[in-house]
Amino acid sequence: MTITADHIRATLAEYTDAHPEEKPALAVVNALLDDGAELTDRKEYRGHVTAGAVLINDAGEVLFIRHVALDTWLTPGGHVEPEDVNLVGAALRELIEETGIALNVSPVFPVPVHIDVHPIPENPHKGEDAHRHIDFRYLFRAVGEQSIRPQEEEVSACAWRSADTIADETLKNRVRAALL
């Protein structure tokens, strides 16, 4: 069973109930859903859902990956797959796929810590037009020492870093607050 429009809408509603100041910026997601957009289809170039994982360890550090295609440091995440049943599960799957971490990892909150809508440039090599990602980011906690095995096709390195290195200010502040 795949992630449904109802699940996306309900997750978005829970998130905006907790963060009402973000409702205007995220109205585009409801507008796409109202228009019948299939937000789990990566060929939906008006915008499609992605799932991200922000993993914190016992030392209060965040796990970053060096993304091969983008040649930049990011938190793990990616496109949802047909077998994903919910967004938090998709975020966990992406975390495991990209880093090899599987043991002693659990979500901190049942709703996303952050939802971000951002542009993605055209990628002629993949035959993709410019589009938007609607990134549902979940906060996870790793307990104890973790073995990391980067997925070589997409990830060239992994590193634990201070939460202060998170570029998005809203996400950074929410992760810092969770660490208290």
**pTM strictly above 0.85:** yes
User: What residue type is 135 in one-letter code?
Assistant: D
Q: How many domains does the chain have?
A: 1
Tell me 139's DSSP state: E
The CATH number linked to 89 is: 3.90.79.10
What are the pLDDT digits (tens) for 49-103? Answer: 999 999 999 999 999 999 887 788 999 999 999 999 999 999 999 999 999 887 7
Residue closest to 78 by CA, chosen among 99, 109, 60: 99
Which residue range(s) make up the domain with 9?
Answer: 5-179
What are the pLDDT digits (tens) for 18-43? Answer: 999 999 999 999 999 999 999 999 99
Contact 50, 42 (CB under 8 A): no
